[in-house]
Amino acid sequence: MIANAPFLLVGLLFLGGMIAIFMEKNLVKIAIAISVIGSSVNLFLVALGYRNGGTVPIHYMAGENTVMVLPTPQAMTLTAIVIALATTALLLSLIMLVYRHYGTLDIDEIRRLRG
C-alpha cells in the first residue's frame, strides 16, 4: 500500500490539474494547472524507476551487487523538466501579451476568434 502512495499522489495531482484546466477561467491559474500536471508526470516517471532500498545508480567498486534505482526515468525526468521550463516561460510570456492586448485574463472575454 505505502509503496503505491506516490502513484496515488500522481493520480490526484493529474486529476486536480485537469479539473482546474477545465473549471478555471483565469489564464494564469490555467498555466499553474498545466505546471501541476507536468509535475505529476515527472513524479510518475521518478516513482516508476524507484526500487525499494535502492541506491544511486553508480558503481563504486567492481563486482559490487547492490539494488539501484533505474537511471533512465531520471534522465527522462530531467529532460522533461527542461522542456517544461521552456514551455512555462513561453506560456507566461504569451499570457503577458494577451493581457496587453485584451486587458483581461478571463478566457471568456478572450474570444475574437469565433465560428
Partner 1 sequence: MNWNDHLPALLLAIPLFGAFVAPVASPFGRTTRNALLASFSFLTLLVSLFLLRHTLTNGIAVYVMGGESFDLTLPLGMKLPVRIIMEVDAFSAFMAVCGSIASFAGALFSMNYMEKFTGLGRFVSLYFLLTVGMLGMMITGDMFNFFVFLEISSIASIGLIAFWRDRPEAVEASIKYMLISQVSSMVFLIAAGALYGKYNVLNMAAMGALIKPGTLEKLALVFLVGTLAMKCGAFPLHMWLPDAYAEAPSGVSCLLVAVSQASLYGLMRVCFSLYGVNLGGAFIPWAMIVMGLSSMFFGVAMAVVQHDIKRLIGYHSVSQVGYMLLGLGVGMLVLTDARGMAEYGFTAIKGGIFHIFNYTMYKALLFLAAGAVYYTTGKRDLNELGGLARRMPFTTGMFVIAAAAISGLPPFNGFVSKLLIYESAFAVHPALTVVALVTSVLTLASFVKVFQTAFLGPERSAFATVREVPTAMLFGMGVLTLAVLVATLFPSWTLSYLVEPAARALVDQAGYVGAVMGGGL
Binding site for partner 1 (CB under 8 A): 14, 18, 21, 27, 30, 34, 37-38, 41, 44-45, 48, 72-73, 76, 79-80, 83, 86-87, 90-91, 94-95, 97-98, 101-102, 110-113, 115
- Rounded CA-CA distance 50/73 in Å is 9
Beta bridge partners of 106: 26
Shortest CB 47 distance to partner 1, Å: 9
C-alpha grid cell, residue 115: 465560428
Nearer to partner 1, 9 or 76 (CB): 76
Shortest CB 15 distance to partner 1, Å: 12
Nearer to partner 1, 56 or 81 (CB): 81
Nearer to partner 1, 69 or 80 (CB): 80
Residue 6 CB coordination number (10 Å): 15
- Rounded CA-CA distance 93/1 in Å is 42
Give the 3-state secondary structure of residue 4: helix
Nearer to partner 1, 61 or 113 (CB): 113
- Rounded CA-CA distance 22/107 in Å is 11
